[in-house]
């Protein structure tokens, strides 16, 4: 089964609104990453948060990590039509194995 599971599976909002996506995982992690995938393209790295960090910002992105709940959230503020994409969380286990396990993704649609 997937290590990371995103919620919701799909999200539709209006331009200018904030979008929040959640990710839950099952085992101890070294870090958690968020990626974006535009239709027909490869994944693009957005942000990495380590297990000893609680919050991280990058431009309009804000990521939180709660290791006690094994969950993370990605907030996109003031969304734009160009933010329309699928967003995936990915976890790197705390075992030295650095391969990422991806969740099933959240499909975000930002209506202009």
Partner 1 sequence: DARVTQTPRHKVTEMGQEVTMRCQPILGHNTVFWYRQTMMQGLELLAYFRNRAPLDDSGMPKDRFSAEMPDATLATLKIQPSEPRDSAVYFCASGLVLKQSGETQYFGPGTRLLVL
Nearest distance from C-beta of residue 33 to partner 1, angstroms:
7
- Is residue 34 involved in binding partner 1 (CB under 8 A)? no
- Is residue 39 involved in binding partner 1 (CB under 8 A)? no
Residue 92 has a CB neighbour count (10 Å cut-off) of 20
Which position has the token pair 């930002």? 110
Number of residues that bind partner 1 (CB under 8 A): 23
Nearer to partner 1, 19 or 34 (CB): 34
User: Given candidates 92, 106, 107, 108, which one binds partner 1 under the rule CB under 8 A?
Assistant: 92
- Residue 41 is given by DSSP the state S
Give the DSSP letter string of 15-38. TTS-EEEEEE-SS-EEEEEEEEE-
- Is residue 45 involved in binding partner 1 (CB under 8 A)? yes
User: Given candidates 12, 42, 65, 89, which one binds partner 1 under the rule CB under 8 A?
Assistant: 42
Give the Cα separation of 78 and 91 in Å (integer). Answer: 26
**Token pair belonging to 92:** 């790197």
Q: Which residues contact partner 1 by CB under 8 A?
A: 2, 30-31, 33, 35, 41-45, 48, 50, 88, 92, 97-105
């Amino acid at each position: 089964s997937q290590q990371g599971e995103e919620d919701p599976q799909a999200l539709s909002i209006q331009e200018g609104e904030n979008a929040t996506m959640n990710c839950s995982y099952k085992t101890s992690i070294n870090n958690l990453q968020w990626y974006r995938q535009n239709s027909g393209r490869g994944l693009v790295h957005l942000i990495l948060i380590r297990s000893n960090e609680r919050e991280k910002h990058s431009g309009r992105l804000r990521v939180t990590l709660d290791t006690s709940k094994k969950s993370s959230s990605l907030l996109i503020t003031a969304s734009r039509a160009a933010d329309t994409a699928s967003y995936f969380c990915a976890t790197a286990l705390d075992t030295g194995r650095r391969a990422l396990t991806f969740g099933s993704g959240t499909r975000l649609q930002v209506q202009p």
